[in-house]
Amino acid sequence: MSKQLVVETVDLTKAYDGVTVVDKLNLRVEEGEIFGFLGPNGAGKTTTILMLLGLTEPTSGVVRVCGYDSTREPLKVKRITGYIPETVGFYEDLTAEQNLAYTARLNDLAEWLIPDRVGESLDTVGLSTAADQKVGEFSRGMKQRLAIADMLVKMPQIAILDEPTIAIDPEGVNQILDLIKKIAREHNMTIIMSSHQLNQVQRICRRVGIIGKGRMLAEGMVEQLMKDALGGGRFKVEIQLAEVTADIVDRIKQINGVVEVERSGDLLLVGCTQDLRPQIAKAIIAGDGSLIGMKIKSYALEDIYMKYFHEV
Amino acid sequence: MRGLMTVFGKELADDFTSWRFLILFAMVAVAGVFTLYIDSQNILAQAAESNQFIFLKLFTTADETLPGLLQFLNMMAVFFVPIVGIALGFDAINEERNSGTMSRLLSQPIYRDAVINGKFLAGVVTIAIMVTSIVLLVAGVGLRMIGVPPNSEEVIRLMLFLVVTIFYGAFWLGLSILFSIFFRRVATSALASIAVWIFLFFFMPMLAGIVANFMVPLEEAGTEVYLSNLGIQSAVLQVSPVRLYQEAISVILVPGARTLGQTIQILGVGGYRLIPNPLSLDQSLLLVWPHMVSLIALTAVCFAVSYIKFMKEEIRA
């Protein structure tokens, strides 16, 4: 492996009163990558994150963040890790600036550095105009951006975001995702983002881990996972014919880019690597078939996800 | 250490700028000045009887027509200090948890105990500043009213009174922080603290009476039976910090008080005035030393339980 491992867990297990929430989880995150941590509610994402930060003790197994054991040296881990909890909160009676300054002080930042650092962070997330506003007046989206600024104040090497886009309107989600991307690039920060919103993870994460019932179901590059999960290619064309003949099936199979053809009743399901509807239509007509309808579906992470969860 | 100081500084600033603090301060100050006014009407008349410790009477004299009710001590200290302590602590931990600031706070590189220590210290300092400034205020106005300056022993006794009062406030603060850790909802923890307060104030004396009557029935009359009944009563009451505090400050502020409990009061006519010579300062201290230790121990127990519970707690986002 060329890049250094930033986060590594070995057989990480957490049980509450005999119920195993995280089960022998092996997670590896490399330096500088944006890692998507996927799973439905209750899969153990938050518990894993809390163990990474040393906020919860694992029942067994090892967590290492930048070489520090999170269980034994939580303070060292917390110094280099920024964390945005799922339900992030601020002191509503304090201004944005005061909230961030408090975080800065808790991180032992020198007093003379604080105003600049806080100003820069607010600038990055586009909240410098609201610096003197009380956080109580902030919208949900603003608070989430403030949470990112709060994380930037300590200049962490790793950022752990727990469901950063939950309960935010589509435009706010875009802003936040762009922001995360930008920060990762500019500060060369490793980012771990948990979510169950697959399309969002897909937009910014190169590598993902899918967790279900506390176990890692799949881990890898998004494209690779798709190939593995969908042997039949990225697109699926659903064709309805008056009558399905072997000739038509053969003709469709011969089209360049068709991976598989599946028959179910009077429906044909064609897996292909790109949108081949025109070619398929031609083939059907050439085969003297009568075409009733044709639909195309593009596969996304969602389908991978569904596939894995059907297996559980 | 820096984490502790940062939390402490922030909490102190929060306490002082909050409406809660202003309201409490106004309430206690008004009560103080009001009782002072009533007291001052009587002091000069009483001054003729004994010419020692006139200044301390500012804090201890009750209006004969409204017995006990408007006494500065009962009004301000015994009654209000618990409210101040509870008000400053009842939402210390659960509010942070509910608003989501706790997990953000604990993901910063500080020891977990810095949070609870900082909050407790800030509360104690707030109580100390509030109580001290009000006592100084009352003393200042009183000085102006009666025109008798305090002597050095009176000043020391007043300072001791302040110290004991701060510990008393710290007990209530510790108790309310304890509840704020155990109960997730702010309303529940506030109610729990107030329930304890009401119990110790109103039901504890009744309970003591019931226990005493059960153990030593008063059916057969006789001084000895009566005395042992009273002894049990006061023993039961001594569990209560309210009682401990009441006894401690009455000895500190009333140099004429020679003993604790009700024994002497029923034997003598007019309570303290049975033996008119006041105790010296060190003798008074000797008398209340166990009370002060018990009060501090109770506070320590509250704080220790909070501490253990908080340190072991799972922090979910």
Closest chain A residue to B111, measured at CA: A75
CA-CA distance, B2 to B10, in Å (whole number)?
Answer: 12
Q: Which residues of B touch A (CB under 8 A)?
A: 2-3, 6-7, 9-10, 14, 17-18, 96, 99-111, 314-317
Residues of B in contact with A70 (CB under 8 A): none
pLDDT for A158-168, tens place per residue? 999 998 888 88
Q: For residue A312, with 0-12 CB atoms within 10 Å meaning exposed, 13-18 middle and 19 or more buried, which class applies?
A: exposed
Which carries the bigger pLDDT value, residue A237 or residue B49?
A: A237
Cβ distance of B109 and A108 shorter than 8 Å: yes
CB atoms within 10 A of CB A244: 17
Residues of A in contact with B316 (CB under 8 A): 46, 50
**What's the confidence (pLDDT) of residue B317?**
46
Tally the C-alpha atoms within 13 A of residue A179's C-alpha that lie toward its C-beta.
Answer: 27
**What's the confidence (pLDDT) of residue B264?**
45
Rg, C-alpha atoms of chain B: 21
Decide: A76 and A68 in contact? Cβ < 8 Å: yes
Longest dimension (CA), chain A: 81
Whether A150 and chain B come into contact, CB under 8 Å, resolves to yes
**What's the confidence (pLDDT) of residue B263?**
45
CA-CA distance, A12 to B209, in Å (whole number)?
Answer: 59
pLDDT band at B67 (very low <50, low <70, confident <90, very high): very low
- Substitution target in A106, A111, A143 with the highest count of B β-carbons within 10 Å is A106
Q: What is the ipTM of this complex?
A: 0.81
Q: For residue A15, with 0-12 CB atoms within 10 Å meaning exposed, 13-18 middle and 19 or more buried, which class applies?
A: middle
Distance (Å) of CA A52 to CA A76, A208, A237, B105: 12, 17, 43, 16
Decide: A269 and A253 in contact? Cβ < 8 Å: no
pLDDT for B129-179, tens place per residue? 998 998 888 888 878 877 778 888 888 888 998 999 999 999 999 999 999
pLDDT for A64-93, tens place per residue? 999 899 888 989 999 999 999 988 889 999
**What's the confidence (pLDDT) of residue A38?**
86
pLDDT for B3-40, tens place per residue? 899 999 999 999 888 898 899 888 888 877 777 777 66
With a cut of 60, say whether residue B62 has pLDDT above it. no
Decide: A13 and A20 in contact? Cβ < 8 Å: yes
Least confident of A269-278, A286-295, B71-80, B282-291: B71-80
pLDDT for B199-222, tens place per residue? 998 888 888 888 888 888 877 767
Residues of A in contact with B107 (CB under 8 A): 53, 55, 78, 81-83, 85
pLDDT for A20-73, tens place per residue? 888 888 888 988 889 998 888 888 888 999 999 988 889 999 999 998 998 889
**What's the confidence (pLDDT) of residue B272?**
46
pLDDT band at B64 (very low <50, low <70, confident <90, very high): very low
- Substitution target in A22, A37, A55 with the highest count of B β-carbons within 10 Å is A55
With a cut of 80, say whether residue A122 has pLDDT above it. yes
Whether A83 and chain B come into contact, CB under 8 Å, resolves to yes
**What's the confidence (pLDDT) of residue B37?**
73
Q: Quick one: average pLDDT of B184-192?
A: 93
Q: What is the 3-state secondary structure (H, E, C) of chain A?
A: CCCCEEEEEEEEEEEECCEEEEEEECCEEECCCEEEEECCCCCCHHHHHHHHCCCCCCCEEEEEECCEECCCCHHHHHHHEEEECCCCCCCCCCEHHHHHHHHHHHCCCCHHHHHHHHHHHHHHCCCHHHCCCEHHHCCHHHHHHHHHHHHHHCCCCEEEEECCCCCCCHHHHHHHHHHHHHHHHHHCCEEEEEECCHHHHHHHCCEEEEEECCEEEEEEEHHHHHHHHCCCCCEEEEEEECCCCHHHHHHHHHCCCEEEEEEECCEEEEEECCCCHHHHHHHHHHCCCCEEEEEEEECCHHHHHHHHHHHC
Contact residues for B71 (Cβ-Cβ < 8 A; gap 6+):
B35, B60, B61, B62
CA-CA distance, B241 to A76, in Å (whole number)?
Answer: 42
pLDDT band at A134 (very low <50, low <70, confident <90, very high): very high
Cβ distance of B107 and A107 shorter than 8 Å: no
From the list B176, B3, B182, the residue with the least C-alpha distance to B92 is: B176
Q: Quick one: average pLDDT of B30-59?
A: 68
Decide: B35 and B76 in contact? Cβ < 8 Å: yes
Q: Distance between terminal CA atoms of chain B?
A: 25
CA-CA distance, B228 to B240, in Å (whole number)?
Answer: 19
Decide: A51 and A14 in contact? Cβ < 8 Å: yes
Distance (Å) of CA A190 to CA A185, A186, A295: 9, 11, 40
pLDDT for B224-279, tens place per residue? 787 788 888 888 888 888 888 888 887 887 776 655 554 444 444 444 444 556 77
Contact residues for B124 (Cβ-Cβ < 8 A; gap 6+):
B166, B169, B170, B173
pLDDT band at B66 (very low <50, low <70, confident <90, very high): very low
pLDDT band at B65 (very low <50, low <70, confident <90, very high): very low
From the list B36, B38, B17, B16, the residue with the least C-alpha distance to B28 is: B36
Angle at B26 between CA B22 and CA B30, to 5 degrees: 175
Q: Measure B178 CA to nearest chain A CA, in Å.
A: 21
CA-CA distance, B95 to B108, in Å (whole number)?
Answer: 18
CA-CA distance, A232 to A259, in Å (whole number)?
Answer: 6
Residues of A in contact with B6 (CB under 8 A): 102, 105-106
Cβ distance of B109 and A107 shorter than 8 Å: yes
pLDDT for A245-289, tens place per residue? 888 888 888 888 787 788 877 788 888 877 788 888 888 888 888
Type of residue found at A24:
K
From the list B91, B101, B92, B85, the residue with the least C-alpha distance to B21 is: B85
Mean pLDDT of chain A: 85
Q: Measure B14 CA to nearest chain A CA, in Å.
A: 9
Reading the block at residue B46, the tokens are: 């009483």
Q: What is the 3-state secondary structure (H, E, C) of chain B?
A: CHHHHHHHHHHHHHHHHCHHHHHHHHHHHHHHHHHHHHHHHHHHHHHCCCCCCHHHHHHHCCCCCCCCCCCHHHHHHHHHHHHHHHHHHCCCCHHHHHCCHHHHHHCCCCCHHHHHHHHHHHHHHHHHHHHHHHHHHHHHHHHHHHCCCCCHHHHHHHHHHHHHHHHHHHHHHHHHHHHHHHCCCHHHHHHHHHHHHHHHHHHHHHHHHHHHHHHCCCCCCCHHHHHHHHHHHHHHHCCCHHHHHHHHHHHHHCCCCCCCCCHHHHHCCCHHHHCCCCCCHHHHHHHHHHHHHHHHHHHHHHHHHHHHHHHHCCCCC
**What's the confidence (pLDDT) of residue A257?**
79
With a cut of 70, say whether residue B72 has pLDDT above it. no
**What's the confidence (pLDDT) of residue B44?**
64
Query: Phi/psi at A216 (nearest 5 deg)?
Result: -80, 115
Alpha-carbon torsion (B74, B202, B15, B110), positive or negative: positive
Type of residue found at A210:
I
pLDDT band at B61 (very low <50, low <70, confident <90, very high): low
CA-CA distance, B59 to A257, in Å (whole number)?
Answer: 96
Alpha-carbon torsion (B94, B95, B99, B101), positive or negative: negative
**What's the confidence (pLDDT) of residue B63?**
44
**What's the confidence (pLDDT) of residue A1?**
44
**What's the confidence (pLDDT) of residue B75?**
63
Reading the block at residue A108, the tokens are: 């032992």
Residues of B in contact with A79 (CB under 8 A): 109
Instruction: Delimit the domains of chain B by residue range.
Output: 2-312
